[in-house]
Amino acid sequence: MNKGKNLKIILGMSLIVLAIVYLIFSSMQTATAAYYMTVEEALNGNIEPDKYYRVEGKINLDEVNYDTTKTPVELKFQIYEEKDPSKKITVIYNDIKPDNFEEAISAVVQGKFDSKGILRADSLNLKCPSKYEQKNSTQDEGVVTKFLRSLGLKR
Amino acid sequence: MAEAGYFSLVLALMLSLYGIIVFIIAARRDNPIFLASAKGASLGVAFFSSVATFILLYFLMTGDYSIKYVYEYTSNDLPLFYRFSAWWAGNAGSLLLWLFLLTWYTLIVAFSKKARNLTPYASAILLFNSAFFLFVLTFVTNPFEKVAGWFPGAVIPDGAGMNPLLQNPGMVFHPVTTYLGYVGFAVPFAYAMTALLTKTANDQWIKVTRHWTIVAWLFLTLGNLWGAQWAYTELGWGGYWGWDPVENASFIPWLTGSAFLHSVMIQERKNMLKTWNVVLITVTYVLTLFGTFLVRSGVLTSVHAFGDSALGKYFLIFTLIMLFFALDLIILRRDLLVQDGSFESFLSKESSFLINNLILVGLAVAVFFGTIYPLVSEAVRGVKVSVGASFFNPVVAPLGIALFLLMGICPLIAWRKASLKNLIDNFRWPLLTALLCAIFLFFFGVRKGYALVGYATATFTLSAIILEILRGTKIRHKLTDEGYPKSFLGLILRNRRRHGGYIIHIGVILMLLAIVGSHTANQDLIKTLKPGESVDIGNYHLTFNQLGEKSVGTSLDAVFADISVSDKAKGIDLGNVESQKVFYPTSDQPMTEIGLRSTLKEDLYIILSTWGQDGSATFKILINPLVSWLWIGGYVVILGAIFALWPGRGSQTGSKYLSTVNLPQPLEGGRER
């Protein structure tokens, strides 16, 4: 084998690998990173105005306002901390209200906070109980399961 | 009968454990009696797994709601079609589907007449996979569990019903094809491991599994594509790909699987990249498991994941076991994997394959990194941070373009070493057409850099492939004196593997057009319209006529908006589009059923959001250019794969240049015909 040629190939391939790695890391620098935050943390005032956040909370269904006369349309609602419903933040989302909004167990909202502490969302995802498995905590058993449990094979 | 189903699973589990042990003994002692017994065990595993599957299907079809799974995913008003698809609507059922496919694949391997020296261990490894699924099904999520509070004799009249989102043809085909792909990659993995275990250093495992790999790749491609189609038509957000962890989970093994599909050709031909190939198939296989772990464990927030469950833990443990088993074996047998050939020039077909692999794996790494970034950042920096399209698109777009360019370069570049003259001769025409295409598009108003580069790349690659086929036809015409059409047919039929590959490439290029078009020239607007009011978007003039109510199918009610579509400039009537909200009996909230007017040029995509007392309605309207080509490209890919797989004369070409272990270098150089 020609060592010199092999070296050339290895060098060329290494350059390509480096270029790909560089591309990944430089894109990571410029990408909009969404910082996870709880509703409580947001209320404690740790918000930086330029940062992009991702907040998850339960939707307060009593205070939902979907105004379709505005341009663009405006969906205004509140999300709150599950443990402490008094801690809530207001979210404004200028897009159509997703299906299942009323049934969602929680909303994952991404956006920036404005000066009034309102989260201006550009992305709204819902976690829905009815997707695939249902949140049915009653573990019901057949004869076999009971049998296995009695043997300690199933917890 | 539910107990019969459960005991079938238990029996299958015991048989699979027996089969693993006996297969290993049979392989070690080369004992035909043990081998026959082990084969029988794998038959038993497939049989009892199928029995369990059919019992579950029977319950689903007849609506025995005393079974928890049946209760949770079906109801009396569900059409028979979706009762069947409830098989994979939930955790337990979908694992049963996976098991069902896996046991039949295992059976085919165990009774295969090819490569008998490899089948015992390969079957044992596959049975080990089955054993894992059987373990999970018997101990963690039993599909035959009874509903809470059920007692013998109790009759439950109706079930909770299937999630309306799953009541769509896309959700019928997408999971099955994805699983067929996932399971399929277990077979080449099993053979690769066997080759290492039995110290078989040649490329026998690659030859034996070539068809398995293509089939698995094809199904995974279709799984992804039909998943995208489902998202597009059913989820109603206007797009087909959102870089959601669940989507990425099946995209990453597709990328590494594609890399594997290409790199094995280098081993077949040059006896090189041996370690690389074993690592690639291992990574692909492990990623299919890891993807399932991501989807089922709830570690990453996803829009359409299965609920959180203990399943993820088991998948993670199993994934790690398989990963360490494979890595250990690769390190232990590294002497076998020393490569014979070498690269002779940077400008050669070999190195274009290698670059192709680097890019595909680079893409996989990038997507993987972006997907698990929340976990990484939490571990490293202590803050949980996620990235979305703003990370994925800037990485994937340039790498994707490079990959497509390579797809055009590869057929036209010589093996071993290409001269500069060879390059200029070959690439003159494709480059010229690409340039003309870009100029043409520029004058017709396409100004976005990515759009121009994307379309030009597609043109370049397409013309390179066409040029290659034309040249082959010409040479054949000269050699055989046949007419051009006959030469053309003869050419592509004689080397179906290669030309099947070209057809697949053409299909993927069509998809590229769709991706570029729908990402660079899409438009959308949200507007509330009163009856009779109009709005313009793109070249369309839309008039909202009225709202109405009607019944869909047998039991569903829908509110629909009737919209007349006409050409904005010429005023020609283009027909009506109906956008709906459908009320399902099992859900309080109506579900969007988009209105779609699809042409080859673009999709007009209308979502009915809500309506008011005065009969006004709010719409989100999108123009998604060229999206149809995504689906058309998919069908071309299927066509190409079937073409490449079609047995008989012409299907094996390419392997005649195979070098054996003792023959380190191909004896002849240059391009082969």
At position A152, the amino acid (one-letter code) is G
At position A131, the amino acid (one-letter code) is K
CA distance A43 to chain B (A): 18
- Which of B344, B528, B587 comes nearest A68 by C-beta? B528
Phi-psi region of B161 (alpha: psi -120 to 50; beta: other; left: phi over 0): left
In B333-419, which residue ranges form alpha helices assigned H by DSSP?
Answer: 349-371, 373-380, 389-412
What gap in Å lies between CA B508 and CA B500, rounded to an integer?
12
In B413-448, which residue ranges form alpha helices assigned H by DSSP?
Answer: 420-443
Preceding omega of B394 cis (within 30 degrees of 0): no
pLDDT in tens, B142-171: 999 988 777 887 788 888 888 787 888 777
Judge whether residue B120 has pLDDT over 70: yes
Written as six digits, the tokens of B413 are 């570049």
B257 pLDDT band, cuts 50/70/90, is very high
Q: Which helix (H) or strand (E) holds B527?
A: strand B523-529
Written as six digits, the tokens of B528 are 């509330």
At position B373, the amino acid (one-letter code) is Y
- Which of B391, B592, B610 comes nearest A27 by C-beta? B391
Q: Is A35–B383 a contact, with Cβ atoms under 8 angstroms apart?
A: yes
- Which of B160, B304, B365 comes nearest A134 by C-beta? B160
CA distance B18 to chain A (A): 20
Written as six digits, the tokens of B599 are 């042409």
% residues pLDDT > 70 (chain B): 93
Strand partners of residue B563 = B544, B577
What gap in Å lies between CA B663 and CA B161, rounded to an integer?
63
Judge whether residue B344 has pLDDT over 80: no
Written as six digits, the tokens of B459 are 């043109």
B41, with CB counted inside 10 A (0-12, 13-18, 19+), is buried
pLDDT in tens, B538-563: 999 999 999 998 888 767 888 999 99
Compute the mean pLDDT over every residue in chain B, rounded to the nearest whole number.
Answer: 88
What is the pLDDT, as a whole number, of residue B57? 96
Q: Is A28–B387 a contact, with Cβ atoms under 8 angstroms apart?
A: yes
Going from N- to C-terminal start, the domains of chain B cover 1-164, 425-521+629-652, 523-627
Neighbours of B258 (CB within 10 A): 23
Residues of chain B in contact with residue A99, where contact means CB-CB under 8 angstroms, are 236, 589-592
**Of B241-250, B329-338, B411-420, B543-552, where does mean pLDDT reach its minimum?**
B411-420
Mark which residues 113-152 of B lie under 8 Å from A by CB: 139, 142, 144-150
Count of CA atoms in the C-beta half-sphere (13 A) of B472: 23
- Which of B369, B388, B591 comes nearest A24 by C-beta? B369
- Residue whose C-alpha is closest to residue B557's, from B528, B595, B587, B594: B587
pLDDT in tens, B57-93: 999 999 999 999 999 889 888 888 899 999 998 889 9
What gap in Å lies between CA B607 and CA B617, rounded to an integer?
10
What gap in Å lies between CA B513 and CA B497, rounded to an integer?
25
What gap in Å lies between CA B86 and CA B324, rounded to an integer?
35
What gap in Å lies between CA A70 and CA B410, rounded to an integer?
54
Written as six digits, the tokens of B506 are 């053409």
What gap in Å lies between CA B235 and CA A93, rounded to an integer?
19
- Distance of alpha carbon B287 from its chain centroid, rounded? 13
Q: Is A33–B387 a contact, with Cβ atoms under 8 angstroms apart?
A: yes
Phi and psi at residue B372, to the nearest 5°: -95, 10
Angle value at C-alpha B160, between B242 and B314, nearest 5 degrees: 55
What gap in Å lies between CA B118 and CA B641, rounded to an integer?
26
pLDDT average, residue stretch B468-487: 88
Judge whether residue B24 has pLDDT over 70: yes
- Is the ipTM higher than 0.85? The answer is no
- Residue whose C-alpha is closest to residue B488's, from B468, B466, B503, B473: B473
Neighbours of A103 (CB within 10 A): 15
Residues of chain A in contact with residue B301, where contact means CB-CB under 8 angstroms, are 56, 108, 125, 127
Residues of chain A in contact with residue B163, where contact means CB-CB under 8 angstroms, are 130-132
Q: Is A13–B355 a contact, with Cβ atoms under 8 angstroms apart?
A: yes
Compute the mean pLDDT over every residue in chain A, rounded to the nearest whole number.
Answer: 80
Angle value at C-alpha A61, between B556 and A97, nearest 5 degrees: 55
- Residue whose C-alpha is closest to residue B285's, from B265, B314, B312, B256: B256
For residues B410 and B349, is the Cβ–Cβ distance under 8 A? Answer: yes
Q: Is A132–B6 a contact, with Cβ atoms under 8 angstroms apart?
A: no
Q: What is the 3-state secondary structure (H, E, C) of B571-584?
A: CCEEEEEEEEEEEC
Q: Is A13–B388 a contact, with Cβ atoms under 8 angstroms apart?
A: no
Mark which residues 1-20 of A lie under 8 Å from B by CB: 1-2, 5-6, 8-9, 12-13, 16-17, 20
CA distance A106 to chain B (A): 11
Residues of chain B in contact with residue A28, where contact means CB-CB under 8 angstroms, are 369, 373, 387, 391
What gap in Å lies between CA B379 and CA B358, rounded to an integer?
28
Written as six digits, the tokens of B308 are 């959180």
- Residue whose C-alpha is closest to residue B94's, from B288, B302, B296: B296
Phi and psi at residue B101, to the nearest 5°: -65, -45
Asked if B593 is an interface residue toward chain A (Cβ–Cβ < 8 A), one would say no
**Of A26-35, A143-152, B8-17, B111-120, where does mean pLDDT reach its minimum?**
A143-152
Which of B590-622 are b and which e, b meaning 16 or more Cβ less than 10 Å from the residue's Cβ?
bbbbbbbbeeeebbbbbbbbbbeeeebbbbbbb
CA distance A45 to chain B (A): 17
What gap in Å lies between CA B40 and CA B15, rounded to an integer?
9
Asked if A117 is an interface residue toward chain B (Cβ–Cβ < 8 A), one would say no
Count of CA atoms in the C-beta half-sphere (13 A) of A101: 23
Q: Is B477 helix (H, G, I), strand (E, B) or coil?
A: helix
Q: Is A96–B343 a contact, with Cβ atoms under 8 angstroms apart?
A: no
B493 pLDDT band, cuts 50/70/90, is confident
What is the pLDDT, as a whole number, of residue A3? 55
Residue in chain B nearest A124 by alpha carbon: B303
Q: Is A142–B528 a contact, with Cβ atoms under 8 angstroms apart?
A: no
Phi-psi region of B402 (alpha: psi -120 to 50; beta: other; left: phi over 0): alpha
Judge whether residue B528 has pLDDT over 80: yes
Q: Is A148–B351 a contact, with Cβ atoms under 8 angstroms apart?
A: no
Residues of chain A in contact with residue B89, where contact means CB-CB under 8 angstroms, are 132
For residues A79 and A88, is the Cβ–Cβ distance under 8 A? Answer: yes
Mark which residues 17-36 of A lie under 8 Å from B by CB: 17, 20-21, 23-24, 27-28, 30-36
* Torsion over CA: B517, B523, B524, B527 (sign): negative
Q: Is B91–A153 a contact, with Cβ atoms under 8 angstroms apart?
A: no
At position A87, the amino acid (one-letter code) is K
Q: Is A142–B343 a contact, with Cβ atoms under 8 angstroms apart?
A: no
Residue in chain B nearest A133 by alpha carbon: B307
Among B526, B530, B580, most A C-beta atoms within 10 A, so best to mutate, is B526
Which ranges of chain A have pLDDT less than 50?
A: 1, 130-144, 154-155
CA distance B386 to chain A (A): 5
pLDDT average, residue stretch B630-654: 84
Mark which residues 157-196 of B lie under 8 Å from A by CB: 160, 163, 165
Phi and psi at residue B253, to the nearest 5°: -65, -25
Mark which residues 95-114 of A lie under 8 Å from B by CB: 95-103, 108, 110
Angle, helix B496-520 to helix B628-645, in steps of 10 degrees: 170
- Residue whose C-alpha is closest to residue B125's, from B335, B325, B341: B325
B421 pLDDT band, cuts 50/70/90, is confident
Written as six digits, the tokens of B671 are 């391009």
pLDDT in tens, B294-326: 877 766 766 554 555 678 888 889 999 999 999
Judge whether residue B207 has pLDDT over 60: yes
CA distance B392 to chain A (A): 8
What gap in Å lies between CA B412 and CA B341, rounded to an integer?
22
Q: Among B92-96, B114-118, B251-255, name the most confident range.
A: B251-255
Q: Is A66–B139 a contact, with Cβ atoms under 8 angstroms apart?
A: no
What is the pLDDT, as a whole number, of residue A29? 87
- Which of A34, A99, A136 comes nearest B589 by C-beta? A99
pLDDT average, residue stretch B381-394: 89
For residues A105 and A127, is the Cβ–Cβ distance under 8 A? Answer: yes
Phi and psi at residue B321, to the nearest 5°: -60, -50
Return the DSSP state at B140. Answer: I
Strand partners of residue A120 = A92, A112
Strand partners of residue B525 = B621
Residue in chain B nearest A28 by alpha carbon: B391
